[in-house]
Amino acid sequence: MPESGIASPLADTASTEVRRQAALLKTGALQNAILTSANFSIIATDEKGIIQLFNVGAERMLGYQAVEVVNKINPSDIHDPREVTARAQALSLELETPIAPGFEALAFKASRGIEDVYELTYICKDGSRFPAIVSITALRDDYGEIIGYLLIGTDNSVRKQVESELHEALTAAEKANRAKTDFLSSMSHELRTPLNAILGFAQLMESGFPQPTPSQQRNLDQILKAGWYLLELINEILDLALIESGKVTLSREPVSLAEVMLECRAMIEPQAQKRGIGMTFPRFETPYFVNADRTRVKQVLINLLFNAIKYNKPSGSVAVEYTLSPPNSIRISIRDTGAGIAPELIAQLFQPFNRLGKEAGAEEGTGIGLVVTKRLVELMGGVIGVDSTVGTGSVFWVELSLTSAPRLAVHETEHAAQVQAQLPDGAPLRTLLYVEDNPANLELVEQLIARRPELRLLSAADGNIGIEFARAYQPEVILMDINLPGISGVEAMKILRADPLTAHIPIIALSANALAHDIEKAMAAGFFNYLTKPIKVNEFMDTLDVALKFAQSQAARAAQTEQS
């Protein structure tokens, strides 16, 4: 007998055999599970591509019985033939090897030792079709020779249906966004047109002669205050709607913070002085440029500055500061001495129409401005935040990415605000043409032009008449409404631009279409400038002066050319 604790060779052999039989049983169980799986189609072929195995899942999906296909057909016979051909061509280009269409094309890549997964359309026995995802692998013997191919497929109908539904939903959403943009453009025009008359005539009455009585002035103040507030509300709602719909376009460029800050200071300091608020601005010893949209940076800063003034305490102060934020950003902070914001309310600051309980206060507001500001900062790749202490004040800050300064360039530009030169006695009248179909708008401009004795105004009620008047009277400047009966103001402008008789005349768009993309399209089409209704009298007169000066320089240049 063997010694205790030492296994005999016979016992080792028996143990090995038991393990081998157990492994075989496991292998058999695995093979049986594969062959009987109803969730996957499993097809095996020989090295020539003829089907040798067709499992229960393949029978269920394709409607064939195994006896109908084994040793009889190639898997490519149950694929969409156009997809098989396309697959063969694609593989031929990829592998730079001529491949005949058919299953061989699908198997060729696997024969190179690379597993291939692709989408195809299976054709069932009854002629119906369904999309599938198939994995193909080369089967090799112990010597590495290919003995067949294994295809494992799964029904892809649900995913395809979801993709189709998602595509339809995206298409519907894009269509809805386009409709929303068109609606906003139309609504902007419809709201601004009556506001133009209200604010325009109120400004005329306020600055007319004789001067309004104190009682009348108080009434005019209320009309103007309500009108400008309504215009602000319209602008903010339209801005927010456009941002939310993804229709806002930004022109990213190097923007000088020193220049933008000077412009903001000029616009905001008069508001602070009226309220007795002291303001301090930083001196930029080093010129810093941010990668942003110049107009939108000004909009962001002016909104934050105006809020700092509006919600400040009497005789309070506002301080604008900046710090560099590593690695490559700059933070602009606006510090006020207002009441401050409780910590639990800060999270609500950037919610639309949420004024944090200020609705009943004396200060008007919509609760939209900060939402628009936040969205614009984020669209420019920046970050906005606030730190506040109740009873001490708040600090609103914006971080934007720094960029290098633009190359120096010489631009012949005109400043919007100019001092009007006095014409000498006996100077000829200068003619303006206003193409406008709205009587109230026309009367407003007529009264504005009447204050300038050196100017006379012609009017035309539609684009075609305006073109004829422009050719006949050769006005120095043309004011053009956009929405006209017949041809639009844009079409009329293009006709005038193409005519040598009128191509030199500066044409100013004067329209209630105030959306950014409307303005950009009009300027790109060839307008000299674009003013939105309601008219701001000072802006209108300044823009008119710029156009008149341009027309004068054009005439002088033409005269020099004729003399030479």
Whichever domain contains 312, its CATH number is: 3.30.565.10
Tens of pLDDT, residue by residue over 413-445, are 233 223 333 444 555 678 899 998 887 788 889
pTM assigned to the model = 0.42
Do 312 and 395 reside in the same domain of the chain?
yes
Q: What is the pLDDT, as a whole number, of residue 187?
A: 66
Pick the more confident residue, 295 or 177.
295
Does residue 486 sit within a domain? Answer: yes
Domain that holds residue 359: 253-403
Could you tell me which of 134, 137, 123, 125 has the C-alpha nearest to residue 156?
A: 134
What integer is the mean pLDDT of 288-294? 89
Q: At what angle do helices 537-563 and 157-207 cross, to 10 degrees?
A: 90
Q: What is the pLDDT, as a whole number, of residue 27?
A: 53
Do 42 and 117 reside in the same domain of the chain?
yes
Do 40 and 147 reside in the same domain of the chain?
yes
Does residue 64 sit within a domain? Answer: yes
Q: Distance between CA atoms of 555 and 422, rounded to whole angstroms?
A: 18
| Residue 512: C-alpha distances to residues 49, 235, 481 (Å) | 71, 12, 8
Q: 3-state DSSP call for residue 291? A: strand
Do 304 and 378 reside in the same domain of the chain?
yes
Does residue 392 sit within a domain? Answer: yes
H-only helix segments in 333-428: 343-346, 369-379
Do 124 and 43 reside in the same domain of the chain?
yes
Does residue 6 sit within a domain? Answer: no
Do 19 and 113 reside in the same domain of the chain?
yes
What integer is the mean pLDDT of 173-189? 67
Whether residue 398 contacts residue 153, with contact meaning beta carbons closer than 8 Å, is answered with no
Per-residue b/e over 51-90, b at no fewer than 16 CB within 10 Å? bebbbbbbbebbbbeeeebbeebbbbebbbeeebeebbee
Beta strands (DSSP E) in 446-559 are: 455-460, 477-480, 507-511, 529-532
Mark which of 220, 244, 268 sits at the end of a domain: 244
Tens of pLDDT, residue by residue over 245-286, are 666 777 788 888 988 888 788 778 888 888 899 999 998 878
Whether the predicted pLDDT of 100 surpasses 70: no
Do 103 and 22 reside in the same domain of the chain?
yes
pLDDT averaged over every residue in the chain:
79
Does residue 99 sit within a domain? Answer: yes
Does residue 160 sit within a domain? Answer: no
In the block, tokens 């419809």 appear at 190
Do 322 and 393 reside in the same domain of the chain?
yes
Which CATH number does the domain housing residue 202 bear?
A: 1.10.287
Mark which of 403, 438, 467 sits at the end of a domain: 403
Do 366 and 259 reside in the same domain of the chain?
yes
Tens of pLDDT, residue by residue over 212-246, are 888 888 888 888 877 777 776 677 677 667 676 66
In the block, tokens 């420019």 appear at 380
Q: Lowest-pLDDT range, 191-205, 464-478, 495-509?
A: 191-205
- Work out the pLDDT band at 465, boundaries 50, 70, 90: confident
Which CATH number does the domain housing residue 447 bear?
A: 3.40.50.2300
Mark which of 388, 403, 418 sits at the end of a domain: 403
Q: What is the pLDDT, as a whole number, of residue 181?
A: 61
Highest mean pLDDT among 152-156, 173-177, 251-255, 419-423: 152-156
Q: What is the pLDDT, as a whole number, of residue 555?
A: 82
Do 262 and 391 reside in the same domain of the chain?
yes
Highest mean pLDDT among 35-39, 134-138, 189-193, 391-395: 391-395
Do 142 and 48 reside in the same domain of the chain?
yes
Cα 401–Cα 280–Cα 369 angle in degrees, nearest 5: 60
Per-residue b/e over 24-36, b at no fewer than 16 CB within 10 Å? eeeeeeeeeebee
Does residue 191 sit within a domain? Answer: yes
Looking at the chain, the whole-number percentage of residues with pLDDT higher than 90 is 23
Whether the predicted pLDDT of 551 surpasses 50: yes
Pick the more confident residue, 130 or 236.
130
Number of domains in the chain: 4
Does residue 162 sit within a domain? Answer: no
Do 265 and 399 reside in the same domain of the chain?
yes
